[in-house]
Amino acid sequence: MKKKCQVVMFATEKNNYIGNIIQRPSDKRLAIINVLTTEDKQEYINQHLYITSSDKIKEGDWYYDSGDVNFICKGFKHTTNNYNRLKIIATTDPELHTSDVSKIGFSFIDDYITEYNKGNVIKEVNVDYEELYLYPDGNLSKVSRLAPNAIPINKPKLRLNNTIIINRLQEVFTKEDMMKALKFNPYECENGNILGKKSDSELEIWFEQNY
């Protein structure tokens, strides 16, 4: 099961360490802290990534509030979800890591930085979820023990290194995009016709019939 989640980058005054994200004030580009950047005298803005979802916010959960002032909060007994409040399910900030807040894998961090520096900010992703069973003793299990008081819940699926599984959203192409692709990248249909060799009007008819 996959769930659409949001990606937020948020500046922090916390100390960052090798492997964390920094932003150069001069050109706003992102980078990963390494030995060279730690020895560089240029000032950097420390950044953290947060993956947020519409999962219910419970007491003690970390959440991101994008209201008048962006900030990270901890849920209390009467905290409720709304369009400004999104539960944090993963982050690069180690101080927030709990049983309900996982790590973000380096592969996604690297992908985010690469796209950000191209001007393509990743704002939404698909996250793998799995159904687990919560028992009164607080234990979670993938298999129901058929206990009448076991509560099925959906949680982000984790790798062995406690990182969530993130997938980029499938890109949505417009009709114009697909028409251009057919013209410049012809391919063969089941009936043997080469679509890219058809006229514009023929492509229009084929497109309407098939999409």
**Which pLDDT band holds residue 8 (cuts at 50, 70, 90)?**
very high
Residue 119 has a pLDDT of 92
- In this predicted structure, the answer to whether residue 117 has a pLDDT above a threshold of 90 is yes
Indicate the pTM of the whole model: 0.72
99 CA to centre of own chain = 18
pLDDT digits (tens, 9 = 90+) for 122-147: 999 999 999 888 777 777 777 655 56
* The CA-based dihedral angle spanning residues 73, 77, 78, 81, taken in that order and rounded to the nearest 10 degrees: 50
- In this predicted structure, the answer to whether residue 192 has a pLDDT above a threshold of 50 is no
